[in-house]
Amino acid sequence: MMEPGLYQILFISAALFFTGVYGFLTRRNLITMLMSVELILNSVNLNFIAFNKYLWPQKMDGLFFTLFVIAIAAAEAAVAIAIIINLYRSHNSIDVENAEDLKY
Amino acid sequence: MNLLYLIGLPVLTAAALLLARSKEQVRWISFAGSVAQLALALALYFAFRQERAAGNTAAMLFDQTWPLFKSLHINFHVGVDGISVAMILLTSFVVVSGVLVSLNIEKMTKEFYFLLILLSLGAYGFFISLDLFVLFFFLEIAVIPKYLLIGIWGSGKKEYSANKLALMLMGGSALVLVGLLGLYYASHGGTFDLMELSHLGIPADTQRILFPLLFVGFGVFTALFPLHTWVPDGHSSAPTAGSMFLAGISMKLGGYGCLRVAVFLLPVGAKEYANIIIVLSSIAILYGAFATMMQKDLKYINAYSSVSHVGFSLLGIGMLTHTALTGAVLQMVSHGLMTALFFAVIGMVYDRTHTRMVNDLGGLMKMMPFIGTIFFIVGLCSLGLPGLSGFVAEMTVFMGSWENADLFHRIATITACMSIVVTAVYILRAVGKVMMGPVTNPVYLTLKDANWNEKLAAVILLAGILAIGLAPFWLNDLVRPATETIAHQILQVTK
Amino acid sequence: MNDLWIIMKNELVVTTIIFLLLFIKIGKGLKNETLLPLIQFLLLANLLQGFFFNKEGLLFEGIFYSNTLIIVQKNILSLGVYLISLVCSDWLKKSPQLPEFFILMLSALLGMFFMISSGNLLMFYLSLELATIPVAAMANFDLHKKVSSEAAMKMILSSAFSSGILLFGISLLYGATGTLQFAEMSALLDGSPLQMLAFIFLFTAFAFKLSVVPFHLWTADVYEGSPVAVTAFLSVISKGAVAFILLTVLHKVFLPMMGIWYNLLMILSVITMITGNIFALRQQNIKRFLAFSSIAQVGFILVGMTNEGQLGISSVVYFILVYIFSNLAAFGVASAISSQTGKENIDDYKGMYRTNPFLSWILALALFSLAGIPPTAGFFGKLFLLTAGGAKGSFWYIGIAALNMIISLYYYLRVIRSVFMDKNDAPIEKISVGRSATLGLLLCGAGILAAGLFSWIFEYIRGILN
Amino acid sequence: MPSIATIALIPLLPFAGFVLLGIFGRTALKKPAGYLGTALMLASCILALYTAYGYFFDFGKIHGAYQKLVPFQMTWLEFSKDVSINIGFILDPLSAMMLVVVTFISLMVHIYSLSYMKGEERFGTYYAFLGLFTFSMLGLVLSSNIFQIYIFWELVGVSSFLLIGFYYDKPSAVAACKKAFIVTRFADLGFLIGILVLSYYGGTLDFGTLIARLTDPSSTQMQAAVNASFLGASALTWGAVLVFIGGAGKSAMFPLHIWLPDAMEGPTPVSALIHAATMVVAGVYLVARLFPVFAISVPGALHVVAYIGVVSAMIAAVIACTQTDIKRVLAYSTMSQIGFMMFALGVSGYGGEAGLGYSASLFHLFTHAMFKALLFLGAGSVIHFVHSNEMKDMGGLRKLMPVTHITFLIACLAIAGVPPFAGFFSKEEILLAASRGNTGIYYMALITSGLTAFYMFRLYFRIFWNKEAGHDAHHGKEGGFALLFPLVLLALCAAGAGFIPFGEYVSSDGTPLHSEFDPVFSIAPVALGVAGILLASWFYLRANDRADRVAASLKGLYTAAYNKFYIDELYLFITKKVLFNLVGRPAAWIDRNIVDGAVNLVGNETVAFSKLIKKLQSGKVQQYAIVFLGGVLVLAVLFIYIWH
């Protein structure tokens, strides 16, 4: 079995990225949308790892970046979910389409 | 003489106004301030004459410079020549009388006078500044007070008019701004200084781009056809003093700018676009006059006639001969005094009869001989009767225009001349209907003539009109050398 | 070693304040009446310390660096925060969790400080998130209001989305250049398609934060939904911070790609100005109105940015200073009114001059400054931006910008008109503005006038560049 | 030679009167206004006589020719190095003569008005206006600079406006004064452009230089002026004709005469002063002033003058026969007489014998001033007496007002050209000049003079004879000394002025012109005159219906003439229908709807657009994200593919 090259990994990460974007754009449930964002971030992580391993192995920049991204993602999720909960309190729903009072 | 006084005085007056406690104090402070302005302007005039008599032939006198934004080569550079002095005199006359006629304002008195003084500040600053950046600064300072004056103290569809005026004037100044930046970069290394710019020859094709921007931009201020439409609405909605300032001062900012910035700095452009200017202004002159014939509201009458009269000064600028340019300046001064007085009188009539409709009025001469006489005199001035300022200015423009021998200029001049007949028609129509004839409304029989402040205001302006009309040489001698430098710039091009 | 204490002084001070507030919170807690003045004092101290004992230098191999310009930028931001704490004090007094609010706000500020000083993409990303996430939480601060939570939701989601894009861009950039250091990166940029793509991804994140069209859509909703203080913070402080860092990124890091970003900025600025103005024309809610007006203002900022020279930088920094004064004055009036009467519509302001002359004049001053009318500082700010933008001698560009000034004047005058001219038999009742709010408004007013007329302020900013 | 002050005082005294009475006439000086004005006028008149006497008999004549003297001149408004408006005085036979006429008639009118206008509410103002007019008229005749003439030209125009509209609460008066001003203003437009042309080619505005340059064929200016041609005529011709148009307007020459009859709305003494003796002859004065240019350089223009003159004379005479308002009759007769003066100039040549017409014209101007003023003042006292202008209210007044009757008769004889009265001599010379110059004009003039006699005596008989006297007999007396003294004085002049050897003093080139009296020639005109008188007496001496029958018999002509040949209606049509409806109204409409509309459209469209695109801000966070992504992609495509 051959070891996957940079391009395969990039392909996967791109696919992941667009899946995330697609999910973000189409899902109505806020939690799901948040998860889609996570997908995007993970595709980014894949990128970093891959670039680090295949193109710039001498320094560990990519790796570190990945760690930080994961951390930040967690923080973001925390705040986001807090907000969503609050939204649920006021709207009794976590469907994005029920929160469209602000427009025009 | 230190020109900063001209800026300091209004600032001080405004500050004093802010501290004023009662309406009476406000009135007296602003009256005193405006009188001081008048005195200052006269002092400036005599100081200027003295300097010239002493043989100081510098283009700009009393000039002073303070660095403002060094890194951008923007300096606070002031100085005056004959044109500026004439304009400053005009401004001070109008300011005093404007303050006088509105002594009876009760609504938000303090704010009213504050804005008036602010406007005068803008005008003085504009006329003395020799740095285009500063010039532009003062030009725009003068816009918003007009907007508020009309919008708050005006009558009729005031909000609409105020909006229109502010937006059109700002549009004009936007064009000016682009033009100025163009000049700034055209003078690589960048300077906004009028005199320096006038020396370094700006390449012809740049001038071709910049001249229309600047001229049209300033033209909006001075009701360049077809961008004059703010004039009728603005004037008719404004309070009396507002109309006086508008027509007497702020329209002159535009004319001065066209002359001092556009033509003086961009002679090539001026020569190339001169014919367009001439066509537009001749149209404005005649068309404005004919449009006036049809108006029913006194203020509209005067507003449209202003369009027509200002056309003369633009025509003079377009003709580009020394005499014509002189005429243009004379016309600015004369029209400023005349139209301010006209609006003052209209205001007096309106305050008493509460209508401005020509057809509702009649036979007022009987009850108010003073107002009637002034109305009549100013009418005569506007139709160019000798002995009053209008004649001098118009004749100078005509003589200057006629110096261009070709048929095109001839026809333009004759077109302009024709307007003196039409003017006579609408002026006599107004005078005949409003002042003469039988009294249309018994209520009028009880009306009183002007009271002291109105009389004083009228007399001040009338003094100016007569001073120019009976002895034009003093003003002519003041302006001619200044216009000569501009004419010289243009001659340079032809050579 | 003690370099660190001096170079990172601002950040450390902010952190200290945050900790102080935490302790206060954990402890039995103080009444707002006593707490708010204390906080205001701390912020003032924070502002003042910014003027002393500053030192240029790099830390951690240039991940963090500081120089005079950056110090000035940080001071401007601290000033903004201080002013917010003053002008919005009427609203803040009422808020139940005052300390949290400031903790969040200050952490955002801290993030911005780091962001401005960051010399490394990782650092930049972290600080960016630090500057964003707390604000999303702040947006939700009117816990009982539906719109508030909606606004927060919209903000957190869309910013998460945009940071996803940003990260993708960063990763590509990393792949293309192999470094995250700004200093090393610019040498490695050759404008290859990949780099361009990366740059555009990166740029959109800035555009999102600055709410440049077409990445602006969240702005209006979030501004309208969140409490006035938060809106003020969003519209002034975070915009300012992002503008500062964008300046460095464009003018330092991506200088080799100038050919691209010059056109990019030109196009986007034009679109942004026009869209912002057009949308602002018919807004009723004052916050939404100011949101769109701020979008238009950003368009002007971009105009200034197109100039890669010193004039570009100085004009933008100066404009942001002016913008802080003007916008905060406007928001201050808005918050004073909404916190007492709950009215946020422009029509409610009709005839307001009769009852509240002071607020009316401040509002007028602010709006004129935003519209760029002398003698307010806004006039100078706009003029310098245009001067910077016109350096390439493209008249049509300046022309469009100037024409946009007219459109904007139209809607600013709409407010002026309803405040000063329109008749209204039941205008807003007399509003008692608190002492500190009054002080804040006066400071803003003074700033609006002084920043322009005292030319040395601009000259100073300009001076530190060379 | 009198000091400058002396000459300056002649116009300045009336001006002082104007200023004083204008300011205080309504209040402090209301009572003594009349006496003050009259006193000033008297002084000015004496000075004028003194100056004129000095000029003619003392210093004016230098080796055999009267010189043009310019004792005083100052630059008033400088246009360029050598073109400038100078205010100055010129003394030559023409101006000296005019000085006398103006001041004398004005004095008479001042005195007459003392009683005629007594009790008027605006008595003081009236005298102020008289002062203003006299000042302007004197300034006009003393002008040394063509632009100075224009200045005072306008001033007399406005003072005439003021005096016609003196009863400003009478709509007809208001209409009349507006009409007068606007029509003359229209003519002045021609004058102004004429000045522009002449000054441009002459390179100066000063009369002396201008005439010198434009009459010397070798001068460069002359060359340029003749060579530059427009529509087939040389620039100089255009200039001259345009200037003449100005003159024609003031002098009520056909077709610009329509304002004169209406001008009779003013107080009668005013008509006597302005619309008979002085202002209306300003046109004649103007042509005479520029006469060398006309006569030497542009004979074509001079023909225009001649034909316009004679046609006006004829038409006016015909119309005068049909009018029933006595002042209107006099107005038309004035127009007719001025026509005589005009064509006299028109047929004249320059210098020596050829210049006969010139002297004759000015001689007639002189005499006409006397007897026409007398006629008007007489008519005035009649109107004062019967309180009406209409002939039908009069008749048989000769017993009731003997003095008026006699003086009026003298005036009529004078104007009818019956020897030895003044009119006879002047008209004689004119006809002589005409017969020498242009026979066609001569015959028309002859007929006209016959008509003159007829309509004047029609007037005379209708007033003083016709139906017998005393219908309501006790009108009281015919007025006091102030009213009668001017009549008598003027009557003496009208009777005696003819014997002045006018040509000796006033001639085209300043050299005395000895005109010998030729009895043979004068048979025809005198005979015609007498015939006219007899015819008039046959019609009107007694009340009868002969006149009506004749009128009925040539109906068309009569009604046409009665309606002044419908010229007024024509003007009305042009102004009201054409100018107002076809030019003014559209202009106003276009301005409001198109020009202004365009401006408003821009604003409204912008607002409408912003309403249109509000949907973009949909409130759906996911759509925001789509737009966001779209933006990214568009930019990417734009910059990665298109820009490269």
- B194 to each of B266, D52, D283, how far by Cα in Å? 11, 59, 52
Rg of chain B (C-alpha set): 21
pLDDT top residue among C88 and D119:
C88
Residue type, B473: F
| Average pLDDT, consecutive stretches of 10 residues, N- to C-terminus, chain D (644 residues) | 83 91 82 88 92 86 83 87 87 90 92 86 88 92 91 91 88 88 90 90 87 85 80 85 91 87 88 87 91 87 90 90 88 91 88 84 90 90 84 79 87 86 87 86 89 89 74 62 87 86 83 77 86 86 78 80 80 79 83 84 84 83 90 88 72
DSSP at D203: S
Cβ contacts of A52 within 8 Å, gap of 6 or more = A59, A60, A61, A62, A63
Report whether pLDDT(B40) > 90.
yes
C52: phi then psi, degrees, rounded to nearest 5? -120, 160
pLDDT single digits (tens) D527-586 = 888 888 888 888 877 777 777 787 788 777 878 877 878 888 888 888 777 778 888 888
The gap between the terminal CA atoms of chain A, to the nearest Å, is 57
Query: Cα dist. C464→C59, C73, D11 in Å?
Result: 21, 12, 76
Residue C161: Cβ within 10 Å count: 26
- From chain A, the residues in CB contact with D618 under 8 A are 100, 103
Give the separation between CA C181 and CA A56, rounded to whole angstroms: 14
- Residues of D within 8 A of A102 (CB-CB) are 619
Most D-contacting residue of C275, C281, C283, C406 (CB-CB within 10 A), to test interface: C281
Q: From CA D88, how far away is CA D206, in angstroms rounded?
A: 10
The pLDDT value recorded for residue C300 is 93
**Which pLDDT score, from 0 to 100, does residue B185 have?**
85
pLDDT of residue A59: 85
CB contact under 8 Å between A37 and C161, yes or no, is yes
Q: What is the pLDDT of chain C when averaged over all its residues? A: 90
Residue C406 to residue B167, Cβ atoms within 8 A: yes
Q: Under an 8 Å CB criterion, which residues of D touch A?
A: 614-615, 617-622, 625-626, 629
Residue B191 · residue B184 · CB < 8 Å: yes
Q: How far is B109 from D158, CA to CA, in rounded Å? A: 42
> Which residues of chain D lie closer than 8 angstroms to A33, CB-CB?
622
Number of domains in chain B: 1
- Between B72-81, C437-446, D574-583, the lowest mean confidence (pLDDT) is in D574-583
Of A21, A24, A102, the CB nearest to D619: A102
Q: Is residue A102 a contact partner of residue D619, using CB atoms and an 8 Å limit? A: yes
3-state secondary structure C268-306: HHHHHHHHHHHHHCCCCEHHHHHHHHHHHHHHHHHHHHC
B residues 152..181 contacting D (CB < 8 A): 164, 167-168
ipTM over 0.85: yes
Q: Is it true that the peptide bond before D420 is cis, omega within 30 degrees of 0?
A: yes
Half-sphere exposure of D54 (CA within 13 A, CB side): 15
Question: Which two tokens mark C279?
Answer: 């949308």
Question: D316 near D402, Cβ under 8 Å?
Answer: no
Which one-letter DSSP state was computed for residue C428? Answer: P
Q: Tell which of B425, B431, B477 to mutate to test the D interface (max D CBs under 10 Å).
A: B425
**B351 HSE (CA, 13 A, CB side):** 21
Q: By the 8 A CB rule, do B229 and D592 touch? A: no
CB pairs under 8 A between B and C: 85
DSSP symbols for C126-141: HHHHHHHHHHHHHHTT
Distance CA C211, CA C298 (A): 8
Binary contact (D639, C264; C-beta < 8 A): yes
Indicate yes or no: CB of C281 within 8 angstroms of CB of D607.
yes
Angle at D273 between CA D398 and CA B425, to 5 degrees: 125
Residue found by looking up tokens 């009201």 in the block:
D576
Going from the C-alpha of C252 to that of each of C294, C300, C442, C464, the distances in angstroms are 26, 21, 37, 16
- Cα separation, C104 vs C414, in Å, equals 35
Residue C195 above 70 pLDDT?
yes
In this complex, is the C-beta atom of B359 within 8 Å of any C-beta atom belonging to chain D? no
- Reference D492, options D312, D370, D624; nearest CA is D370
Q: Write the CA distances from C175 to A47, A61, C168, C196, integer angstroms.
A: 8, 11, 10, 13
D614 to C264: CB separation less than 8 angstroms, yes or no: no
Q: Residue D89: is it exposed, middle or buried by C-beta count within 10 angstroms (0-12/13-18/19+)?
A: buried
Q: What pLDDT score does C53 carry?
A: 82
- In the predicted structure, residue C455 carries a pLDDT above the cut 80: yes
A96·D622 Cβ contact <8 A? yes
Out of C156, C165, C220, closest to residue A83 by CB: C156
Q: DSSP 3-state assignment of C59?
A: strand
Which residues on chain C are in Cβ contact (under 8 Å) with B163?
410, 413, 417
Comparing CB atoms, the residue among C143, C164, C224 nearest residue A102 is C224
* HEC profile of D245-299: HHHHHHCCCCCCCCHHHHHHHCCHHHHHHHHHHCHHHHHHHHHHHCHHHHHHHCH
Contact A80, C157 (CB under 8 A): yes
CATH number attached to the domain at A6-101: 1.10.287.3510
The Cα of D622 is separated from the nearest Cα of chain A by a number of Å equal to 5
Across the interface, do C197 and D625 touch by the CB < 8 Å criterion? no
Among the partner-chain residues D171, D196, D200, the one whose CB lies closest to the CB of B437 is: D171
Contact D143, D295 (CB under 8 A): no
Peptide bond into D255 cis (omega under 30): yes
Distance CA B127, CA C56 (A): 47
List all chains that touch chain A, counting a touch as 3 or more CB pairs closer than 8 Å.
C, D
Chains that touch D (3 or more CB pairs under 8 A): A, B, C
Contacts of B71 in chain C (CB under 8 A): 311, 314, 458-459, 462-463
Look at residue A2 in the predicted model and tell me its pLDDT.
67
Please state the φ and ψ torsions of residue D325, each to the nearest 5 degrees: -85, 120
Q: Which helix (H) or strand (E) holds B64?
A: strand B61-69
Token pair belonging to B210 = 């910049």
Q: Which residues of D touch A21 (CB under 8 A)?
A: 629
Please give, rounded to a whole number of angstroms, the shortest distance from the CA of C192 to a CA of chain D: 9
- D606 to chain A, closest Cα gap in Å: 17
User: Does the distance separating the beta carbons of D615 and A21 come in below 8 Å?
Assistant: no
Q: Which residues contact A58 (CB under 8 A, 6 or more apart)?
A: none
- In order of B466, B472, D161, D447, the CA distances from B391 in angstroms are 11, 10, 18, 44
Degrees, nearest 5: CA angle B438-B442-B447: 95
CB contact under 8 A, A91 and C149: yes
Q: Which long-range contacts (CB under 8 A, 24 or more apart) does D385-392 make?
A: D385/D475, D385/D478, D385/D479, D386/D475, D389/D264, D389/D325, D389/D326, D389/D327, D389/D328, D390/D324, D390/D325, D390/D326, D391/D324, D391/D325, D391/D326, D391/D459, D391/D462, D391/D463, D392/D324
- Chains B, A in contact, 3 or more Cβ pairs below 8 Å: no
Let me know: does B257 contact B139? Beta carbons within 8 Å: yes
Nearest chain D alpha carbon to B435: D168
Q: With a cut of 50, which residues of chain A have pLDDT below it?
A: none
Q: Report in angstroms the alpha-carbon separations of B72 from B150, B180, B255.
A: 36, 13, 28
Residue of B178, B191, B216, B253 to mutate when probing chain C, most C C-beta within 10 A: B178
Chain C, nearest residue to B213 by Cα: C399
* Closest CB to B184 among C387, C413, C421: C387
Q: Which residues contact D570 (CB under 8 A, 6 or more apart)?
A: none
CA separation for the pair C380, C448 (Å, rounded): 10
- Does the beta-carbon distance from A97 to D620 stay under 8 Å? yes
Nearest-Cα residue of chain A relative to residue D625: A25
CA-to-CA separations, D300 to D126, D314, D345, D403, D595, in angstroms, rounded: 43, 22, 13, 48, 47
Residues D400-449 have pLDDT tens digits of 888 888 898 999 988 888 888 888 888 888 888 888 888 888 898 888 98
pLDDT of residue C58: 84
Q: Which residues of D touch B399 (CB under 8 A)?
A: 79, 83, 196, 199
* Per-residue model confidence (pLDDT) at position B308: 92
* pTM for the whole structure: 0.91
The one-letter amino acid code at C388 reads A
Contact assignment for C420 to B152 by CB distance below 8 Å: yes
8 Å CB contact between B392 and B471: no
CB contact C215 to D (< 8 Å): yes
* pLDDT for res C390: 84
Distance CA D286, CA C452 (A): 65
For the segment C294-316, what is each residue's pLDDT rounded down to a tens digit?
Answer: 999 999 999 999 988 888 999 99
CB atoms within 10 A of CB B252: 27
Sign of the dihedral through C-alpha D92, D97, D103, D106: negative
pLDDT at B106 over 90: no
Q: Helix or strand or coil: residue B62? A: strand
CB-CB under 8 Å, C172 with A86: no
Taking Cα atoms as reference points, which of C270, C121, C108 lies closest to residue C205?
Answer: C121
Q: Is C331 left (phi over 0), alpha (psi -120 to 50) or beta?
A: alpha
Residues of chain D contacting residue C162, judged by C-beta atoms under 8 Å apart:
628
| Chain D closest-CA separation from residue C281 CA (Å) | 7
Q: How far is CA D489 from the centre of its chain?
A: 25
Interface contact A25-D626, CB threshold 8 A: yes
Decide if D169 and B229 are in contact by the 8 Å CB cutoff: no
Question: Nearest to residue C88, comparing CAs of C433, C445, C451?
Answer: C433
**Spatial CA neighbour of B240 closest among B332, B361, B349, B328:** B349
Residues with Cβ within 8 Å of B190's Cβ and at least 6 positions away in sequence, in order, are: B72, B73, B184
Q: Which residue has the tokens 């008719």?
A: B236
- Buried/exposed code over B421-434 (b: 16+ C-beta within 10 A; e: otherwise): bbbbbbbbbbbbbb
